């Protein structure tokens, strides 16, 4: 599909495209913004290279797509609370986001999109994988689609604590500089049931809505849910549904959580990585 005001170059067959000809530090005119928005819908995740952004400039760009979804467990920057710092120091061993997931799936209105801006990256490693959930749904048999149509997944934001392990605050304490952890999400709902097959509100396409936050199917036990959940989680991230992005300082990625999953690869121990993350507010999945 042609774009008149920007250069869009796909990076893989399944999803993902790099966009040239845009300076995100400057306000986008309506034609350019519409083209970027269309590229996001067409390619599911878009990437911009060589950007120089202040937190406020990143926030201005993010707000063109909607309101800001605040993370229920992690505080934002002191002077820009809408931006969550994701920092792994050279001595840290835990990698934030190192499981296939869709951001904030455990909330009542999950994040529509996520914008991640690279402030510092390791010399090698630290790539992010993305998976196309339209393709994951389309590849299922008609009989499987019929069986899954009425199911809802129950997702949990602090699943390790629920299972009797440490809470997020306890797990990150002393091991990450990613941002001060909130001990209590307050009145934010962090356990939610959503349709396993959701309809994208802008494209009208059906997508497999699953990720690591999904613990079981609603009105089923863990044991009853486990075999089908395991199959779907594996199926959803088949190699032919994915792309891989190699970061550089000044790169910005923006992905659609309604039809993708992503995975942060933690293969850079001994090196520092700093990212600034904004999540865009979403709607109730249907």
Q: How far apart are CA 45 and CA 10, in angstroms?
A: 10
β-bridge mates for residue 61, sequence order: none
Residue of 43, 194, 216, 262 marked catalytic: 262
277 has catalytic annotation: yes
Catalytic site residue from 103, 194, 256, 276: 103
Cβ atoms of residues 130 and 97 within 8 Å: no
Q: Is 262 a catalytic residue?
A: yes
How far are the Cα atoms of 10, 50, 141, 248, 254 from residue 19, in angstroms, in the given order? 9, 11, 34, 15, 11
Q: Which of 168, 213, 273, 277 is catalytic?
A: 277
Catalytic residue among 101, 194, 198, 213: 101
Q: What are phi and psi of 208, to 5 degrees?
A: -80, 115
Report CA 261 to chain centroid distance, whole Å.
Answer: 6
- Contact of 260 with 253, CB cutoff 8 Å: no
CA–CA gap between residue 54 and residue 80 (Å, rounded): 10
DSSP string, 181-237: BPS--TT---EEEEESEEE-TTT--EEE---TTEEEETTS-HHHHHHHHHHHHHHHT
Coil/strand/helix, residue 157: coil
CA nearest to 281, candidates 85, 120, 68: 68
Checking phi first, is residue 16 left (phi over 0); if not, alpha (psi -120 to 50) or beta?
left
71 catalytic residue (yes or no): no
Residue 103: active-site member: yes
List active site positions. 101, 103, 262, 277
């Amino acid at each position: 599909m042609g774009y008149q005001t920007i250069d869009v170059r796909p990076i893989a067959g399944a999803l993902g495209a790099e966009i040239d000809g845009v300076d995100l530090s400057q306000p986008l005119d309506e034609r350019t913004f519409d083209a970027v928005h269309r590229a996001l819908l067409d390619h599911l995740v878009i990437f911009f290279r060589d950007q120089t952004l202040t937190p406020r400039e990143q926030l201005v760009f993010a707000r063109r797509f909607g309101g800001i979804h605040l993370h229920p467990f992690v505080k934002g920057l002191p002077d820009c609370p809408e931006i969550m710092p994701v920092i792994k120091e050279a001595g840290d061993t835990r990698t934030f986001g190192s499981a296939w997931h869709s951001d904030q799936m455990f909330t009542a209105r999950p994040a529509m999109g996520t914008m991640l801006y690279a402030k510092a990256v390791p010399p090698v490693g630290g790539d992010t994988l993305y998976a196309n959930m339209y393709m994951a749904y389309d590849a299922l048999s008609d009989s499987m689609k019929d069986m899954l149509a009425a199911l809802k997944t129950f997702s949990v934001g602090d699943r390790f604590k629920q299972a009797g392990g440490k809470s997020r605050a306890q797990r990150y304490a002393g091991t990450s500089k990613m941002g001060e952890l909130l001990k209590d999400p307050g009145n934010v709902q962090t356990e939610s049931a959503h349709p396993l097959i959701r309809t994208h509100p802008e494209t009208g396409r059906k997508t497999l809505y699953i990720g690591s936050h999904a613990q079981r199917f609603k009105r089923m036990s863990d044991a009853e849910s486990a075999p089908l959940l395991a199959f779907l989680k594996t199926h959803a991230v088949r190699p032919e549904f994915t792309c891989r992005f190699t970061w550089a300082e000044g790169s910005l990625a923006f992905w659609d959580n309604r039809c993708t999953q992503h995975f942060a690869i933690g293969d850079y121990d001994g090196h520092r990585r700093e990212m600034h993350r904004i999540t865009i507010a979403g709607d109730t999945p249907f």
